[in-house]
Structure 1
Amino acid sequence: MRVSAAGVGHRATIDIDLVTVDAEPEAAEVLADAHHADPQPLIIDEVKVDLIATSPVTDDELDGLEDKDRLFVAGHRWAFEGAEPSRLTVQGAEPVAVKVATPAGLVASKSHAVGYPTSRRRATKSASDLLDLFRLVDLYDRDGGLNDELRRAPGGIGRIIADVAQDQILTNPAAATSKMNSASPAPIEVGDVEAVIETFVDGLRTS
């Protein structure tokens, strides 16, 4: 049975990725000062905040970059530029207005983590990264809308994302699903993973 789109919690997180512009190198210092914390690594109330600086990038600047770097540079900037206003409600505090990446932007940045992890990330977060990618695709690409956005993404990153999903999930769906299940609060079936990701990859490779 496919993972439900509602009624089942995804997973808790203990870190936050904050994407900024290059002109804001002081972001870490501002947050650190406000919470009396060290700027690197920045940990606020036991939550690690990873700051990822981005800057505008053109197709000419992306030319010659390997897929790993192209996906990181173009994907994170695209996620930053396409972020949409959201209202974050916290128990015992006033609501906060923040900009959050769209599902397509999250897939772009998460695909880099899945396809090109550091050795430390592969050892500690591979299962949750795979689960995040699968859940995003499963929940937001049922009408093909996610696919449409990613095919139009800058730098041809849709192709790279398709390659990552193929290599990291479809090459061995059983192993990928086993990893996901180790991080998921609800069981996931390998057949569902294979069907969802195959459709996703095929769509990205359709011109």
Structure 2
Amino acid sequence: MSGDDLTAPMPVPHEPDARIDIVGDEAGRTTGLVAGLERLTWSAPGRRIVVVGGLAVISHLSHLHRVTMDVDAVVWMDSPEVLDLLVGGGAARVTNGARLPSGHLVDLITVGAYDPADLPTEALDRMFILAHRWAYDTARETHITAYGARTGLPKASATAWLATPGALAAMKLQSIPRRAGPTIHKRASDAYDLFRLIDHCERKGTVSRQLATAPSDLGDFCLRQARAYLVDEPERTVRWFRTEGSPDMGQISVDDLVATGTPFAESLERRLAQ
């Protein structure tokens, strides 16, 4: 897709009936995240707010696979206005976003028009732009509901644009090698999100099928990175899980990564060659 015009938002089919139900956790963290998303969308009505990060992965898995207090979102070049709306609604302005009264951090990433010919030559900078813009363009409007763990009753709901599994995988794969300094420990959660996404969503070929349509050289980059983290050097990834991650991450073995990563990489390679 190297000839794509990415100077303006791509037309995306409107699918207002897409729904995801999330099984709540005993501590109510899932409910809190969805309530935070509801606050974000309520504060900026009519805005295309694309959910990415941990909450987006949780939504596709339909359960809380790891703890997070962040609501990460991609918006179109209007984050100052969205931030003003959030602050006007009671949030506190922080670097890159706002902190809601609930304590949840809203991290806003902006995308905008660009000429493909002007993309950075440095690979990671280029992949950052491509992955986030692709996530914005291909997101699906989704109604997300979190249910109580004990009651089974709906506790919080929000309607927002949800990044696809393929776009989320791309964002994780470009993010891992960028982690350094105070955020280096986040490579464990990035790799864990990637593993869980592929393990769950690739059963019908969803992730590889979507990545094969990614713009420019994003798909090829993702293939190389996925092979490195899941197939060629899984011991390194497992070491991150055990030294920088949660106990749940520490339960993932080298064999788990290889068993999930090998068929995924083979499928993506075939699709990219077509």
Q: TM-score, normalised by structure 1?
A: 0.83
8 A contact 2:143–2:157 mirrored in 1: yes
Q: What CA distance in whole angstroms lies between the structure 1 residues aligned with 2:63 and 2:111?
A: 34
What residue number does 1:154 align with? Answer: 215
* RMSD (Å), alpha carbons: 2.6
Match of 1:195 in 2: 259
Asked whether the equivalents of residues 230 and 262 of structure 2 are also in contact (C-alpha less than 8 Å), the reply is no
CA contact (8 A) 1:86 1:97 kept: yes
Change (3 A) 1:184 1:197: farther
Superposed displacement of residue 198, structure 1: 2.3
For 1:70 and 1:22, the matched residues in 2 are separated by 18
Partner of 2:28: none
- Asked if residue 55 in structure 1 is aligned to residue 118 in structure 2, the reply is no
Q: Would the aligned equivalents of 1:85 and 1:100 in 2 still touch at CA under 8 Å? A: yes
Q: 1:8/1:53 Cα in 2 relative to 1: closer, same or farther (>3 Å)? A: closer
The equivalent position to 1:110 in structure 2, one of 164, 168, 172, is 172
Q: 8 Å contact 1:151–1:158 — kept in the other structure? A: yes
CA drift of 1:8 comes to 7.1
Selected match of 2:125 from 69, 72, 76: 69
Q: Distance in 2 between matches of 1:21 and 1:139?
A: 29
Residue 17 of structure 1 aligns to which amino acid in structure 2?
Answer: D
> Aligned with 1:16: secondary structure?
strand
Paired residues of 1:28 and 1:39 also in contact (CA < 8 A): no
CA shift at 1:24, angstroms? Answer: 4.1
- Counterpart among 134, 138, 151 of residue 78 in structure 1: 134
Aligned to 2:74: 19
Structure 2 unaligned blocks of 5 or more: 1-59, 149-153
- CA shift digits 1:28-52 (9 cap, x unpaired): 2221221241243522122122110
> Aligned-pair distance for 1:9?
4.3
- Give, in angstroms, the shift of residue 135 of structure 1: 0.6
Q: Which runs of 5+ in 1 are unaligned?
A: none
Give the aligned partner of residue 30 of structure 1.
85
Distance 1:167 1:154 in 2: 21
Q: Which residue of 1 aligns with 2:159?
A: 97
Contact 2:91–2:99 at 8 Å: present in 1 too?
A: no
- Percent identical residues: 27
| Aligned with residue 128 of structure 1, among 176, 184, 189 | 189
Q: For residues 267 and 179 of structure 2, what CA distance do their matches in structure 1 show?
A: 25
Moved more, 161-170 or 130-139: 161-170
Worse-superposed segment, 183-192 or 65-74: 183-192
**Paired residue secondary structure (1:95):** strand
Kindly state the Cα deviation for residue 23 of structure 1 after the two structures are TM-superposed: 3.8
**Does structure 1 retain, via aligned residues, the 8 Å contact 2:229–2:236?**
no
How many aligned residue pairs are there?
201
Q: Is the 8 A contact 1:83 1:102 kept in 2?
A: yes
Letter in 1 for 2:262: E
What's the offset of the Cα at 1:184? Answer: 5.3
Instruction: Provide the C-alpha distance between the structure 2 equivalents of 1:195 and 1:164, rounded to a whole number of angstroms.
Output: 16
